Structure 1
């Protein structure tokens, strides 16, 4: 479930980037948006998997719970950022 949530959030984020591009460059090709729409949600799903793997720390209570939430959130953001960079490499990121 966490992987689906992570991938869904990533799909929404990358869709906002792609839909904001009104005049894509002709050298990108007709189907330039397929790569970001595949790579970024996969990276978001991996971020969701990392969030799931941190569940054992969240259940321990105290400062470990807070630390687990912070590490999980940062891990997801880093994975999402890497997915956006890899997905848009050669098009909007260039």
Structure 2
């Protein structure tokens, strides 16, 4: 009786979910920080803690973009076109980041 080894040496291990989510959130936090901390004289109508909302919502949108990248990386490891997966992930991340900035700054800097 012989034992067969079914391991493929070229199997790609897909990216864990947490790492791209943290990278996406970090990029989004850097982008929104550029806008939020660049305000010298905020409008008094915005309130004292107006910075909290954009600093929470935008990184969450960036994290969702990172999660989409992890999903597309998983799909690429299952046979989906890798180049198309990366381009689609980039487009979804940029659109999600834009929407996160708009939602975060709605009512303050985005009128």
TM-score by length of 2: 0.79
Residue of structure 2 equivalent to 1:92: 109
Residue of structure 2 equivalent to 1:10: 28
1:66 aligns with 2:73: no
Residue of structure 1 equivalent to 2:7: none
Residue of structure 2 equivalent to 1:81: 98
Segments of structure 2 that go 5 or more residues without pairing to the other structure are: 1-18
C-alpha separation in 1, matches of 2:100 and 2:45: 22
C-alpha separation in 2, matches of 1:23 and 1:7: 27
When Rg is computed on C-alpha atoms for both structures, the one with the higher figure is 2
Aligned residues: 93
- Taking only aligned residues, the RMSD between alpha carbons, in angstroms, comes to 1.4
Task: Provide, for residues 21-68 of structure 1, a one-character-per-residue CA deviation record: whole Å limited to 9, x for no partner.
Answer: 11110000111000000000001001100011001343367x811111
1:46 aligns with 2:61: no
Moved over 6 A (4+): none
